[in-house]
Chain A
């Protein structure tokens, strides 16, 4: 069953603009991860934020986590056409789950040149 829900489902922006996508989840977590999927390809891990962290950066990516609201956001700054992809959040529940991630349905991002 899906726990994460990404919002919006689809986003279209111009190159150079910032893109923000959100993820909400339902149960407690060890960490929350964001993955990217280019069309027709496998998913690629982008960034992981732990439950005791509030913000994390990696290059042009900024992730925030609000455990009280059970939500996370992924910000891509100065977007490029190559950022066009689907972005998925995945939550890692507390121990005893055999490292099974719970996946959202994804946000489809189109960056127009």
Chain B
């Protein structure tokens, strides 16, 4: 059981570039989440999904899009990266109450 995996681990982008972060889970969880973590701001929910084919906005969705075409995968896209999107991104999944986190993707936008 790999749990929750995220790729890539680290990425540097230039302003205006686009990229996709991939989250995969092998626990057959229905719920998946994308968070960003910034110093002093804790975890902020970007988008989430309550099942395959569904997505919903979280607290800070602007500038991001997501897709959940397969139950095990949850993709986070940055359409046109901005320096304000420099952050550590965490994916999580859950079956019910407890969330299981991936190791994170560190993104630097120059």
Q: Which residues of A contact B (CB under 8 A)?
A: 1-2, 30-31, 33, 40-45, 48, 88, 90, 92, 98-101, 103-106
Contacts and interface: CB of A to CB of B under 8 A. Distances in A.
B74 interface: no
B58 to A, nearest CB: 7
Contacts of A106: 42
12 contacts: A1-B59, A2-B42, A40-B104, A43-B90, A43-B101, A44-B101, A48-B97, A98-B50, A103-B43, A104-B42, A105-B42, A106-B42
Contacts of B98: 33, 45, 48
Q: Could you say which interface size class chain B belongs to?
A: 20 to 34
Contacts of A45: 98-100
B19 interface: no
B101 A42 contact: yes
A93 B84 CA distance: 30
Interface of B: 4, 31, 33, 40-43, 45, 48, 50, 56, 58-59, 90, 92, 94, 96-104
A1 B60 CA distance: 9
Contacts of A48: 97-98
